Amino acid sequence: MLVHIPNVLTPEEVAHCRRVLEAAAWVDGRVTAGDQSARAKHNLQVPQDSAQGRDLGEVILRALGRNPLFNTAALPLKVFPPLFNRYDAGMTFHAHVDNAIRPVPGAGVRIRTDVSSTLFLTAPEDYDGGELVIEDTYGSQRVKLPAGDMVVYPATSLHRVEPVTRGSRWSSFFWTQSMVRDDGRRRLLFEMDMAIMRIRTDLPDSHPGVLGATAAYNNLLRQWVEM
């Protein structure tokens, strides 16, 4: 399931991220890649242990907490601290699948990467190329979003970043361990929750249809959630 989530960050938050990242040190992006991904990856990244990365990660985590669409799409249990990457002209990330397990730096815990997220920090008109291409159940999906918007998709998906041919593409990326491991079940729950939201615009919460649909959604959650 691929979901576009608009306006995760406000324009002011995007501008703040850009200012901080402009002053940050950038290193070879292969430092966080697995063996297979390292051979495919050619970009820059802010070090995981940098103060700038940690501070901006907190900005993003707060934004996720107030975003109902992210929460209904990902059903998050744990979120990996956001990372930041950069693709200058000529840089790319060939087709790969994300690592299944990620250790959280300094926390002594690991998360299962069920859902991948890319949060765009550069306006699409400021660079050419750099599309995120995701192999979805409906074919290849090419994603290039406004600054502040985010896409979430199954971490099991084969995906790549097309070469940047002009400008520079900056983004944040991270993974979520979902309360519902299976993407097919997450998709069904997402579609049900969105349908319930639409029904509630026309009917009162006390209507039997609303009550029945909400009960069915919550009972499926009880069956499928892993805590």
Which positions make up the binding site? 96, 98, 159, 169
Report the chain's C-alpha Rg in angstroms.
Answer: 18
CA distance 227 to 214: 21
CA distance 59 to 52: 11
Token pair for 155: 């971490």
Contact partners, residue 53, CB within 8 Å, separation at least 6 = 24, 46, 47, 81, 82, 83, 84
- Which helix (H) or strand (E) segment holds residue 17: the answer is helix 11-22
Residue 120's φ and ψ, nearest 5 degrees, are -80, 135
DSSP states of 132-177 as a string?
EEEEETTEEEEE---TT-EEEEETTS-EEEPPEEEEEEEEEEEEEE
Instruction: State the binding site for 2-oxoglutarate.
Output: 169
